Amino acid sequence: MIEISPPSKKSEKNFTTRLESVDEFDRVETVGEMFVDRPKVSCLGVSVHYGDKQALFNINLDLGRNEVLALIGPSGCGKTTFLRCINRMNDTIEGCRVDGEIKIEGAEINHSDADVVSLRSKVGMVFQKPNPFPKSIFDNIAYGPRIHGLSGPKNELDDIVEAALKRAGLWEEVSDRLHTPATGLSGGQQQRLCIARAIAVNPEVILMDEPCSALDPIATARIEELIDDLREKFTIAIVTHSMHQAARVSQRTAYFHMGHLVEVGVTDQMFTNPRQRLTEDYITGRFG
């Protein structure tokens, strides 16, 4: 268990031995600012097993209010697994076991009694590959409000759909074809539609799993702008393989390596002055 204390210069001095590799360590002490004041989401000692294989080792990490937290690291390091712990999407994977404490606004969610449906209405998710439902644009956005009973009369639903599309910056492009199939949109538009779909139920947290990896640079830029806008209202965690993207959109960055959380830091600091050797290697492209 890591001592919970705000990072300070004093504590930083204690990390004299730089972590070079995690292979020989059972437990890796995370370095940096993994905790924040009044966290939106706080994770303590989260471990994940897929069957016999352990995928995450004792992760301690907070998501602050109105912040974008970037999760970086080489493929298979557990970023996505960690992300999926927060809305319990790991429940859908057979043989997956999540241990530890995960609290949203102080309420424990990693517990069999916790209601997954209401959790997922509070924690939206955007996937790597745009996955609009094969229905109309309108029905895609309206699906969440409908199943959560957020909409009353029809015109209210219209308003919700319009607001969500406007927030996602898609309204102007699709307002005249709301009832055409969503699968007819371009990849970037589909991804923004998925973001609009996620925010239509008014969540508190949005999890993004490499949302731009299937998009071209222009569409990526639009999504990044959007993420920056959304920060005003939501807490966002984004998994990305692009160091530049992490640097552009996030306030804090967490570096995962082989299931361990190696380092968490304020993004600017982390990219200019990583404290762990592993982080430095990854960021500078020597590894990963």
Binding residues (CB under 8 A) for another protein: these are: 87, 89, 92, 94, 116-121, 124-125, 127, 129, 131-134, 143-144, 147-148, 181, 183, 194, 197-198, 201
- Shortest Å, Cβ 129 to another protein: 6
Beta partners for 47? 99
CA–CA separation, 251 and 168 (whole Å): 21
CB of 46 or CB of 208, closer to another protein: 208
CB of 143 or CB of 171, closer to another protein: 143
- Shortest Å, Cβ 68 to another protein: 19
Which element (helix H / strand E) includes 55? strand 53-63
Residues in contact with 265: Cβ distance below 8 Å, sequence separation at least 6, in sequence order: 32, 33, 252, 253, 274, 275
CB of 133 or CB of 171, closer to another protein: 133
CB of 123 or CB of 254, closer to another protein: 123
CB of 15 or CB of 133, closer to another protein: 133
- Shortest Å, Cβ 190 to another protein: 11
- Shortest Å, Cβ 210 to another protein: 13
- Which structure tokens are listed for 93? 């994977």
CA–CA separation, 78 and 74 (whole Å): 9
In terms of Cα–Cα distance, which of 25, 4, 7 is closest to 15? Answer: 7
| Cβ neighbours of 140 (radius 10 Å) | 26
The sign of the dihedral angle between the CA atoms of 141, 142, 143, 146 is positive
CA–CA separation, 101 and 42 (whole Å): 8
CB of 207 or CB of 278, closer to another protein: 207
- Shortest Å, Cβ 193 to another protein: 11
- Shortest Å, Cβ 101 to another protein: 22
| Cβ neighbours of 270 (radius 10 Å) | 27
